[in-house]
Each structure stands twice: as structure tokens, then as C-alpha cells.
Amino acid sequence: MPKTNVLPLLNWKGIIASGKTFGEWTAASTVLASRDRIEKALKELDLPAQARDAVRALQRDIHVVAIAEDWCGDVVRHVPALERLAQENPLIRTHYISREQHLDVFARFLTNGGEAIPKFIFLSADLVETGHWGPMPTACRKLLARGKALGDIPTARKKVSESYNADPNLHVVIAELTELLQIAGATEV
């Protein structure tokens, strides 16, 4: 049987070292209106008690590499959810990189073959990749995949927008991110 091609290992330690903290990332913003919206949303976002308690209970370091750029609407919408969760536990560290900064990383996390951000890659304390999220909640990604399969992206985008409007407090996003944080910070199987 022929040997399967294997992707080269990523140097997560180096990728993390090259990333920016949330504060550094927002300070370097090129779209000030987006930065202001992100910071405002972060201040106003209340976590459901279940999510807050779950992330506070985590006992291991977790790294989240965020591929994000402030010109993107999904980044502006979803980054505050990630950062609000990270505020609850100092063991959760976020590291922001751009697509161009690490093309090898970005190429691994395409969405249905396409370029889309944000992408949040979850790593355990030992820098083992345990999951990834983005650019939007699972149900929305499925809507876009169906729209792509049917050649009707406009209708799919409309349904995604309706889904966003139905969840202004990002409860779906928070639940999905919380689950990925729990996996990355697991202390038992």
C-alpha cells in the first residue's frame, strides 16, 4: 500500500511566540471602527453561568491561536466571545496571528476549501492541537456548505445572518468555544 502524505508538523511554540496578545492585536488595529466594536462588545458580553463556571474550573494551561484580522465582520462578531471566556481564567492564553504571517497554519484550516476567518486553534498545555473553531458556529457552516452545494450562496448567507440576529448574546458561539476549551484543558479522559 502506498504511503499516505502527511502534513509537516507545525512549530506551535514558534507560532505562539510570533503572535500578539489581544491587547497588542487591538492596539495594532488598522480599522478603528472594528476595534471599537470589538472592545465595546467585549465589555458588554455577559457569559451564561454554565460557561463561566466551566472555564473557571479549568486547571491546565490552554493556548488558543487566533487567525484574525479586524476588517472581517465574523472576526468582529466572534473574537469578543473568545476573549470574554479567556478573561475568566488566566490559564487561557490567546495569541493572534494574521493569515499572511503563517500561511502554513492558515492553509490547514480552510473552511470547505475556502479562506475564511476567524479560526481559533485550541492547544493543550503541551501544545497538542485538540480542536479548532471558525469562522462561525457549526450550524452556520453547515448552512453555507449546503448553499455552496446547491449553488445558492446568497440564500445561505441570508440564513446565516438570520441565525446571527437570533443569537445576539452569542450563546451558541460561547457554548462551542467552551466545549473546545474544556477539551484542551482536560485533566481526564
How does pLDDT run along the chain (189 residues), one tens digit per residue?
A: 667 767 778 999 999 999 999 999 999 999 999 999 999 999 999 999 999 999 999 999 999 999 999 999 999 999 999 999 999 999 999 999 999 999 999 999 988 788 999 999 999 999 999 999 999 999 999 999 999 999 999 999 999 999 999 999 999 999 999 999 999 999 999
Q: Are 96 and 24 in contact (CB under 8 A)?
A: yes
pTM of the predicted structure, to 2 decimals: 0.94
Closest listed residue to residue 41, CA positions, set 21, 28, 20, 22: 22
Alpha-helix residue ranges (DSSP H) falling in 19-102? 22-27, 32-44, 49-56, 73-87
Query: Tell me: domain 12-135+169-184, CATH 3.40.30.10, correct?
Result: yes
10's CB contacts (< 8 A; 6+ apart) are 104, 105, 108, 129
